[in-house]
């Protein structure tokens, strides 16, 4: 199979490429910029602001949202083209969880007041949202969560704890799941609430990861009052809101393009680095590099498969799990091969002078460990493929 654009897709691809060429600040394409860390200087923040403004003017901060809510109103295949081109250009993402997660839920289930208050700020890039789902005892088995929300007059009072909350230290708002009926079966006693992070009783404690980055946090609630008007959908129906995706392309093409970019960088390093005129890497490492390139291409094909299903109106199911499982495990294999290639230099963490590829290999080696846990662990994805894809009985 060869994936080709339809004439409309080709036209749209050209439009996106032209937009990127005219608006993406070059700084973001240079190795100076570390997307994982985000902007670190005033200059980087200003550049990112410029990029966000240009995207926002076209509704492209939220490309999959309907136009009436400030989105781009793109079809799934246009979203795919858009995401593929953004990834090829290494353009930074600006939407975050507001665009990807809570915005679509509010569009479908929010009150008029909630939409009016929150959606324009999300598409305007003015607020940062975080997701308060996981708890110390509840990750894969999320429905067992214990954080309580008890109705008290016009408010809910929240007590409990969330963990692994990405970006909570920067977030203005959190959408959270809390138990509102402890006596109901576990999926049926959960509600979704919108919480202002400045509410009294909220405390955020950093969790520093293996690579010394501050990405996620623990969040504690001590008698936090959340107005009852911030309940999303019906009380005790919060569990069922999580699956909302609008007409969202699910190919994750960005990740597969990023994989290929990393492998290409490793090839370039292998070509340039020689000892006494000889190649520096062993035959085994060369073969591994080739395997990684094959895998990066397979990952892209899995993305194409998903988009082709969606284009035909089929909702991807276990195929999305296959895709996530494969690219996240390939990310780890790529990082391991990279470490073998650069050898002892891999011990240098982002040392600008000596660390090859500005330390990205060793950094990726450490950060990709989390990729097979976040957004569904490899084991859970294998369970989904086994039962829904292969028809095996539940274990
Ligand atoms: C980088 C990163 C960012 C994250 N950001 C957020 C965030 O912003 N908000 C948020 O709410 N959460 C976030 N999470 C949490 C994430 O959703 C959970 O870590 C994930 O759901 C796994 O849950 P757990 O950590 O409790 O592990 P557990 O569910 O306790 O799993 C432990 C181990 O047991 C295995 N296991 C569990 N159940 C089964 C089963 N039925 N069959 C076979 N094996 C099983 C798992 O695969 C895993 O290996 C983030 C996690 C990471 C790593």
From the alpha carbon of 395, which atom of ligand 1 is closest? Answer: 42
- Predicted TM-score (pTM) of the model is 0.94
Among 164, 375, 380, say which to mutate for ligand 1: greatest number of ligand atoms within 8 Å of CB: 164
Segment 23-48 shows an average pLDDT of: 81
- pLDDT surpassing 80 at residue 346: yes
Segment 99-125 shows an average pLDDT of: 95
Beta-carbon-side half-sphere exposure of residue 31 (alpha carbons within 13 Å): 12
pLDDT tens, residue by residue, 193-236: 999 999 999 999 999 999 888 999 999 999 999 999 999 999 99
pLDDT tens, residue by residue, 87-100: 999 999 888 999 99
Contact 119/102 with Cβ under 8 angstroms? no
Catalogue all structural domains in the chain, each as residue range(s) with its CATH number.
Answer: 7-94 (no CATH), 129-241 (2.40.110.10), 253-389 (1.20.140.10)
Which secondary-structure segment (H or E) carries 166? none
Q: How far apart are CA 265 and CA 339, in angstroms?
A: 13
pLDDT tens, residue by residue, 45-54: 899 999 999 9
First to last CA, the chain: 35
238 CA distance to ligand 1 middle (Å) = 20
Residue 154 CB coordination number (10 Å):
9
Contact 129/101 with Cβ under 8 angstroms? yes
138 CA distance to ligand 1 middle (Å) = 8
Catalytic residues: 249
pLDDT tens, residue by residue, 121-169: 999 888 999 999 999 999 999 999 999 999 999 999 999 999 999 999 9
9 CA distance to ligand 1 middle (Å) = 37
Pocket of ligand 1 (CB under 6 A): 130-131, 133-134, 139-140, 164-166, 216, 370, 373-374, 377, 379-380, 383
Residue with CA closest to ligand 1 atom 22: 139
Confidence of residue 278 (pLDDT cuts 50, 70, 90): low
Contact 249/305 with Cβ under 8 angstroms? no
Beta-carbon-side half-sphere exposure of residue 393 (alpha carbons within 13 Å): 1
Q: How far apart are CA 113 and CA 98, in angstroms?
A: 17
Q: How far apart are CA 115 and CA 50, in angstroms?
A: 26
């Amino acid at each position: 199979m060869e994936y080709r654009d339809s004439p409309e897709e080709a036209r749209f691809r050209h439009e996106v490429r032209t937009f990127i060429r005219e608006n993406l600040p070059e700084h973001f394409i240079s190795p100076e910029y570390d997307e994982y860390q985000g902007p670190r200087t005033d200059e980087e923040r200003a550049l990112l602001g410029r990029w966000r403004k240009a995207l926002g003017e076209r509704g492209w901060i939220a490309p999959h949202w309907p136009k009436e809510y400030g989105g781009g109103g793109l079809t799934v295949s246009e979203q795919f083209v858009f995401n593929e081109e953004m990834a090829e250009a290494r353009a930074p993402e600006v939407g975050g969880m507001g665009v990807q997660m809570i915005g679509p839920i509010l569009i479908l289930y929010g009150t008029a007041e909630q939409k009016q208050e929150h959606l324009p700020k999300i598409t305007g890039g003015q607020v940062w949202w975080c997701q308060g789902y996981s708890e110390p005892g509840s990750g894969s088995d999320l429905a067992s969560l214990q954080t309580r929300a008890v109705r008290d007059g016009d408010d809910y009072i929240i007590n409990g704890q969330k963990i692994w909350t990405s970006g909570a230290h920067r977030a203005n708002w959190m959408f959270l799941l809390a138990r509102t009926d402890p006596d109901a079966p576990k999926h049926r006693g959960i509600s979704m609430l919108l919480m202002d992070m400045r509410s009294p009783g909220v405390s955020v404690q950093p969790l520093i990861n293996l690579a010394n980055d501050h990405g996620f946090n623990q969040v504690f609630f001590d008698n936090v009052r959340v107005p009852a008007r911030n309940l999303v959908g019906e009380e005790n129906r919060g569990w069922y809101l999580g699956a909302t995706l609008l007409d969202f392309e699910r190919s994750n093409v960005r990740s597969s393009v990023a994989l290929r970019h990393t492998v290409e960088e490793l090839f370039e390093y292998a070509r340039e680095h020689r000892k006494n005129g000889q190649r520096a890497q062993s035959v085994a490492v060369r073969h591994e590099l080739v395997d990684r390139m094959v895998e990066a291409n397979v990952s892209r094909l899995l993305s194409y498969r998903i988009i082709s299903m969606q284009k035909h109106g089929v909702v991807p199911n276990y195929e999305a799990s296959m895709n996530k499982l494969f690219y996240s495990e390939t990310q780890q294999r790529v990082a391991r091969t990279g470490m073998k290639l650069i050898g002892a230099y891999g011990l240098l963490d982002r040392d600008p002078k000596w660390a090859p590829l500005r330390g990205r290999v060793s950094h990726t080696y450490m950060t990709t460990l989390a990729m097979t846990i976040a957004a569904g662990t490899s084991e859970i994805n294998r369970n989904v493929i086994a039962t829904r894809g292969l028809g095996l009985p539940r274990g």
